A = this chain, B = another copy of it.
Amino acid sequence: MTAFVQKSLGRWRSQRSVHHLAFGHFEQVESELEIAPVAIDAPAVVALCAAWGVPPATAIAPFAMKWEGRSDWDGGQEVLAGECLLVPVPAQGKLLRDRGYAETLPAVGTFGFAPDGTFVLTTPYERAAAEERIWFVTDDVRYRVSSIRTSSGQGVVTASFSTEIRRLA
């Protein structure tokens, strides 16, 4: 996990396509991402561990993710921006975050790595579950495939695909 976080640090230009499967609708999001390391003893890290009852000594490589982008959803140019703190706890296979993607509430997800190195994260929300698969195609190109399923588990409501290109400047 430390190596994966390490490779992810930096600024990324993201193109994201969202497929709303029930209506066959396409949504396009362009954004800038910034992933930066956070000190293991930062107060926000300690507080997030405490909130989930996790001993801070079991956390590693916390990082902050910041995004700013535009969606073409609903005809308009909706501006999306936000940031969250993520704290991996490998011994429990947990990823804590102070804010979710699908809902703006704190969330805890379960992560692991597929044998081919794909990072797989599953996050249950109150009315849905999100699964994310992230892998590096080259050192400077990352793919991210996300699915939002109904919390009952079967149907896929929304699928999305992001290509993230490292900003080298």
**Taking beta carbons and an 8 Å cutoff, which residues of A are in contact with B?**
13, 15, 17, 19, 21, 24, 26, 28, 30, 114-116, 118, 137-138, 141, 143, 145, 147, 154-156, 159, 161, 163, 165
Instruction: State which of B17, B115, B116 has its C-beta within 8 Å of the C-beta of A19.
Output: B17
Specify how many copies of this chain sit in the oligomer.
2
Contacts of A156 in B (CB 8 A): 137-138, 141, 163
A116 (CB) vs chain B CBs: closest residue? B114
Contacts of A114 in B (CB 8 A): 114-116
CB–CB A19/B15 < 8 A? yes
Instruction: State which of B17, B30, B143, B165 has its C-beta within 8 Å of the C-beta of A17.
Output: B17
Contacts of A165 in B (CB 8 A): 21
| In the bound complex, CA of A28 to CA of B21 (Å) | 14
Contacts of A24 in B (CB 8 A): 13, 15, 30
Known: A137-B147, A143-B145, A161-B161. A26 touches B15 (CB 8 A): yes
